[in-house]
Amino acid sequence: MGSKTPFTLKWGIMATGHIAKNFVKDLLTDPAIRDVHDVCHEVVAVASSSSVQKAVDFCAKVNASTKTKVYGSYAELVADGEIDIVYIATPHSHHFQNAMLALEAGKPILCEKAFTVTSSQARKLVETARTKQLFLMEAVWTRFFPLSIKVRELVASGVIGAVYRVIADNSLNRVLPEGDLDFQDSHRMVNLDLAGGAMLDLGIYSLTWLMQILYHLQSDEKKEPPNVVAAINKYHTGADEMTSFILQFAKHKSMGIGMTALRIGSGVDYDFTGGPPIKIQGSAGEIQVMGPAFKPSAYRVIMKDGGGHIETVHCPIPKDQNRDNWGHGMYWEADECARCLRDGKLESDTLPLEESIVVMEVMESTLRQGGVEYPQPITTDIYDRLSSLNTGRR
């Protein structure tokens, strides 16, 4: 049998920061290392809103092809006719305006988490993408890990019975001995102008585990947006630094308990001695997921009647030895985009847009209950082309 030529997805990269670098490295790894043979990726262009030189330096760092185009503005990127999809890796404060810029130019999008700052911005993006018949997806990479797929299959098959509770923690210890956090006040993690705070940056992963088990796995007619009860401790900048939220799914008698914090860590111990940051508890047993909630690396199933037998299943992230052992785990979400575009789908079944909206509603409710307020320029759901270019930095 002859092998079919894989479908190639041509990417345009918007922004040149930390996560754009990891993502592009993953795009450039050989799909065969993860046993993927039907799709592959090409980085057609990289754009920086700061300067064209920053895009040049970025390409050098990731060892991009000499054919990769470089732009000194996001406007030039979205106008490039060779690009199939734009990956948005700006701070979440800017996702709404940047995504609108790309949609207005007729480009499909993969947009980093948190999708937006408010749920009305998320609704506006979805509405615009649907009107223009363009693919749109929130880049919650964890959902596309083979480990996450396996855990969802185990839950759906009823191995641990009816699931009544999911507990998920995604916390990073970033406190200095003198008590401040290890970020300048201007850093996007704690700066309100850049939609800083634990919830939108890290809590989204705790919420991902609650949602992919307690919401995503329900049939469409049984899906129930949860009731949210939350509490927040704020940092001196006004951003949330410790946030806990309970999601109540009353019809299903289930609850999700989500946590995130910047002064303590969770799941950061790869020997798992710190215990699992994620526990999925059912009537017949429990599934525990180990490793950080955003990048899980193993799971185990503990049965109520298992006689103490517990097997830990390790799920390593494949590395490309021809590229300095690159392999972060972001390539699986990129493969999902390639398959959706190849098949003419406008959204992913694994992370439907309706779910990204519910996720934003939960986070908005949590932040509102904790009294976190973001400034008007980043909460507006009115598209402003000038803001979308990010030239005047706030």
Ligand X SMILES: NC(=O)c1ccc[n+]([C@@H]2O[C@H](COP(=O)([O-])OP(=O)(O)OC[C@H]3O[C@@H](n4cnc5c(N)ncnc54)[C@H](OP(=O)(O)O)[C@@H]3O)[C@@H](O)[C@H]2O)c1
**Residues interacting with ligand X, by CB under 6 A?**
15-20, 48-50, 54, 89-92, 94, 112-113, 139, 141, 188, 194, 201, 294, 390, 393-394
71 in Cβ contact with 44 (< 8 Å): no
| Closest to ligand X by CB, 89 or 192 | 89
| Closest to ligand X by CB, 93 or 281 | 93
Q: Specify the residue for token string 């998920």.
A: 168
| Closest to ligand X by CB, 92 or 279 | 92
Give Cβ neighbours of residue 320 (< 8 Å, ≥ 6 apart).
Answer: 29, 30, 33, 326, 327
89's tokens: 């890796």
| Closest to ligand X by CB, 48 or 297 | 48
| Closest to ligand X by CB, 208 or 281 | 208
320's tokens: 């490309």
| Closest to ligand X by CB, 90 or 356 | 90
- State the minimum distance, in angstroms, from the CB of residue 94 to ligand X: 5
Which amino acid makes up residue 170?
N
- State the minimum distance, in angstroms, from the CB of residue 112 to ligand X: 4
| Closest to ligand X by CB, 52 or 284 | 52
- State the minimum distance, in angstroms, from the CB of residue 329 to ligand X: 9
| Closest to ligand X by CB, 136 or 163 | 136
Q: Across the strands, what pairs with 301?
A: 287, 311
Candidates 281, 309, 310; CA nearest to 298 is 310
Q: How far is CA 31 from CA 67, 330, 335, in A?
A: 20, 12, 9
| Closest to ligand X by CB, 52 or 264 | 52
Q: How far is CA 116 from CA 99, 138, 177, 298, in A?
A: 10, 9, 33, 30
- State the minimum distance, in angstroms, from the CB of residue 16 to ligand X: 4
- State the minimum distance, in angstroms, from the CB of residue 51 to ligand X: 8
- State the minimum distance, in angstroms, from the CB of residue 275 to ligand X: 22
| Closest to ligand X by CB, 18 or 385 | 18
- State the minimum distance, in angstroms, from the CB of residue 230 to ligand X: 20
- State the minimum distance, in angstroms, from the CB of residue 89 to ligand X: 5
d(CA 121, CA 380): 7
Residue nearest to ligand X (CB): 17
Candidates 245, 288, 231, 297; CA nearest to 268 is 297
Sheet containing strand 278-282, strands side by side: 227-234, 240-249, 254-261, 163-169, 278-282, 285-290, 298-303, 311-314
Q: Specify the residue for token string 């507006």.
A: 380
- State the minimum distance, in angstroms, from the CB of residue 260 to ligand X: 13
d(CA 217, CA 254): 13
285's tokens: 């047993």
- State the minimum distance, in angstroms, from the CB of residue 123 to ligand X: 19
